[in-house]
């Protein structure tokens, strides 16, 4: 396949052309970093959410779900630390007037150094052939070692500046590295400033600071403030979890890479409440469990990896990302954080209400510790899409070669499960039979009926939206009550009786296959 940048462009245009994702308010030239999901997009997104909900809530007796409001009392965000510390370091280029995240500019510069390093390794690999000892080369070649040291020392300085709120340190790095504005090429920068990522709005009848409301930047706080409500009404005992799927809003400075970084997005978060001292055990458990979840839908191991945080958020004592190999490189897909008792303690202090759990086994009260798993629904969507997008050569009807674009989405997540296609549309008896079949399947599976164009074109249309099965009704069907079922990935066609069809499809799209 072409280079990854090309592939990414194709995925973005495929998403639009086939009704997965549209730019928001497109007729007004769009709103930056805000997107709408089209008819197939919403089905895939709903299936992703169902997959998460089932595997978290339905499969765990000790996890329950809630759905809390986007608006919360403004003190929530004071307690959580978002008012004071939910900032990105921001820098403006005075010539292009473009605004950037200082840490992203530095990370991009490091990525360039790493790319040079990899190029050296590739060159050596080609030169030495089979005898090449890559590990030794990476450890001893002076140029490679120099690049590696340079990259890690820049990252170390950046992390130190970030954790100590040293904006001048970040600016110095940008100047030293001679980083130029990607837009104008100019090095005429402002100072680095902190920029709060929360959107705010005003409560109807209260003027000024008093009435200031925020759009939640994460769903987690709705869980924390309801911790005791849920525990008491469901009689859960620690350890137990509360799960939620919902919208979150962040005024991101760097808004690019399609639905990877949006200003309005959806999170699937679960807070797991544990006894103090047991958090690391559960942190390990959820790390493994969440990685298993990503792999269960067929995402190859090589495209997923753990990445430990060096720069811990104010609330965490351990944190790891699950990164996915997006077309623009390995990036965070999910975060797993050991959040200590930071949030509950803080809410307890600011609200004056106790948020403690009475442990009847140990006969003691305590504020539980929390392990969080947080995955972006939209990033998950992008990972499924980029992992399943394939251009390939297949045999055409005349025995020649044809190329097709196919989305090899796991059948359980696929937007449409089955297409029902009468072989031709001008034979009323075929159309009637196909319609009957469609009516038979539709209560159980989202199906599509299609009788336009030649059968080959109809197959291509279904391939492009990832439909795992196409069922053709032909003249023989009228005699033998059998249809031809075509498999999206193998292209194998089988004759199968209508009586068995539902069970056949059900077996392939069953949730059981991914749990």
User: Which residue ranges make up the site for ligand ATP (CB under 6 A)?
Assistant: 250, 252, 261-262, 265, 267, 332-335, 374-376, 378-379
Spatial distance between the Cα atoms of 479 and 113, rounded to a whole number of angstroms: 68
**In the bound complex, what is the minimum distance in angstroms from residue 68's beta carbon to ligand ATP?**
17
Of the pair 334, 474, the CB lying nearest ligand ATP is at 334
CB 420 within 8 A of CB 441: yes
CB proximity list for 98: less than 8 A, separation 6 or greater: 92, 181, 183, 184
Q: Which is nearer to ligand ATP, 335 or 411 (CB)?
A: 335
Residue number with the shortest CB distance to ligand ATP? 376
Of residues 373 and 467, the one with the C-beta less far from ligand ATP: 373
Which one, 219 or 341, has the nearer CB to ligand ATP? 219
Omega cis (within 30) before 239: yes
Q: Which two tokens stand for residue 231?
A: 């525990």
Q: Could you tell me the smallest distance in angstroms from the CB atom of residue 19 to ligand ATP? A: 21
CA distance 390 to 407: 6
Q: How many CB atoms lie within 10 A of CB 186?
A: 13
- Quickly list DSSP for 146-212: HHHHHHHHHHHHHHHHHHTT-HHHHHHHHHHTT---TTT----B---EEEE---EEE-TT--SGGGE
Task: Give the shortest CB-313-to-ligand ATP separation in angstroms.
Answer: 8
Strands (E), 341-435: 357-359, 364-366, 369-376, 389-395, 401-407, 418-422
- How many CB atoms sit inside 10 A of residue 193's CB? 14
Q: Cβ of residue 479: shortest distance to ligand ATP, in angstroms? A: 53
Q: Between 89 and 422, whose beta carbon lies closer to ligand ATP?
A: 89
Residue 297 CB, nearest distance to ligand ATP (Å)? 16
> CB 379 → ligand ATP: shortest distance, Å?
4
Phi, psi (rounded to 5 degrees) for 307: -140, 115
- 222 or 376: whose CB is closer to ligand ATP? 376
Strand order in the sheet with 193-196: 99-101, 87-92, 193-196
**Residue 61 CB, nearest distance to ligand ATP (Å)?**
26
For 16, the token pair is 């639009």
Alpha-helical regions (H) of 19-93 = 39-53, 75-79, 82-85
Shortest distance, position 34 Cβ to ligand ATP, whole Å = 10
Nearer to ligand ATP, 143 or 314 (CB): 314
Shortest distance in whole angstroms from residue 248 CB to ligand ATP:
7
User: Which tokens go with 69?
Assistant: 């409001």
Q: Which is nearer to ligand ATP, 316 or 423 (CB)?
A: 316
Integer Cα distance of 222 and 80 in angstroms: 11
Enumerate the H helices of 297-369 as residue ranges.
Answer: 342-351
Closer by beta carbon to ligand ATP, 48 or else 416: 48
């Amino acid at each position: 396949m072409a280079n990854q940048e090309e592939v990414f462009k194709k995925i973005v245009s495929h998403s639009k052309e086939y009704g997965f994702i549209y730019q928001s308010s497109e007729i007004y030239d769009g709103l930056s970093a805000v997107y709408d999901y089209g008819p197939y997009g919403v089905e895939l997104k709903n299936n992703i959410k169902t997959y998460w909900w089932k595997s978290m809530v339905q499969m765990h007796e000790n996890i329950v779900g809630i759905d809390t409001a986007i608006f919360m009392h403004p003190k929530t965000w004071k307690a959580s630390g978002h008012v004071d510390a939910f900032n990105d370091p921001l820098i403006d280029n005075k010539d292009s007037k473009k605004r950037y995240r200082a840490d992203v500019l530095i990370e991009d510069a490091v990525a360039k150094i790493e790319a040079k390093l990899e190029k050296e390794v590739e060159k050596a690999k080609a030169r030495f052939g089979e005898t090449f000892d890559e590990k030794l080369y990476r450890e001893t070649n002076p140029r490679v070692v120099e690049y590696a040291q340079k990259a890690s020392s820049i990252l170390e300085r950046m992390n130190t500046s970030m954790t100590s709120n040293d904006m001048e340190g970040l600016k110095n790095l940008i100047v030293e590295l001679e980083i130029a504005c990607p837009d104008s090429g100019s090095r005429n920068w402002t100072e680095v400033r902190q920029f709060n990522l929360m959107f705010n709005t005003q409560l109807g009848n209260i003027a000024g600071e008093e009435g200031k409301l925020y759009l939640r930047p994460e769903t987690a706080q709705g869980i924390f403030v309801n911790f005791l409500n849920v525990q008491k009404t469901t009689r859960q005992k620690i350890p137990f979890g509360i799960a939620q799927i919902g919208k979150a809003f962040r005024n991101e400075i760097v808004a690019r890479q399609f639905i990877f970084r949006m200003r309005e997005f959806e999170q699937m978060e679960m807070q797991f409440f544990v006894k103090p001292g047991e958090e690391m055990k559960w942190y390990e458990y959820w790390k493994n469990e969440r990685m298993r979840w990503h792999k269960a839908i067929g995402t190859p191991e090589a495209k997923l990896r753990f990445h430990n945080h060096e720069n811990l958020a104010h609330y965490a004592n351990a944190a790891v990302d699950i990164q996915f190999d997006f077309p623009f490189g390995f990036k965070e897909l999910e975060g797993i954080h050991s959040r200590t008792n930071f949030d509950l303690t803080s809410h307890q202090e600011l609200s004056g209400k106790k948020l403690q759990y009475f442990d009847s086994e140990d006969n003691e009260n305590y504020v539980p510790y929390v392990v969080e798993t947080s995955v972006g629904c939209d990033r998950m969507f992008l990972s499924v899409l980029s992992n399943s997008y394939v251009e390939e050569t297949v045999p055409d009807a005349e025995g020649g070669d044809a190329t097709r674009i196919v989305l090899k989405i796991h059948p359980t997540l696929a937007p449409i499960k089955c297409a029902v296609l009468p072989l031709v549309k001008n034979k009323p008896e075929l159309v009637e039979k196909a319609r009957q079949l469609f009516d038979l399947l539709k209560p159980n599976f989202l199906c599509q009926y299609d009788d336009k164009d030649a059968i080959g074109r109809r197959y291509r249309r279904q391939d492009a939206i990832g439909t795992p099965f196409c069922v053709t009704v032909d003249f023989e069907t009228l005699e033998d009550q059998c249809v031809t079922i075509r498999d999206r990935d193998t292209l194998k066609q089988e004759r199968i009786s209508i009586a068995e069809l539902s069970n056949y499809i059900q077996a392939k799209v069953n949730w059981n296959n991914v749990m």
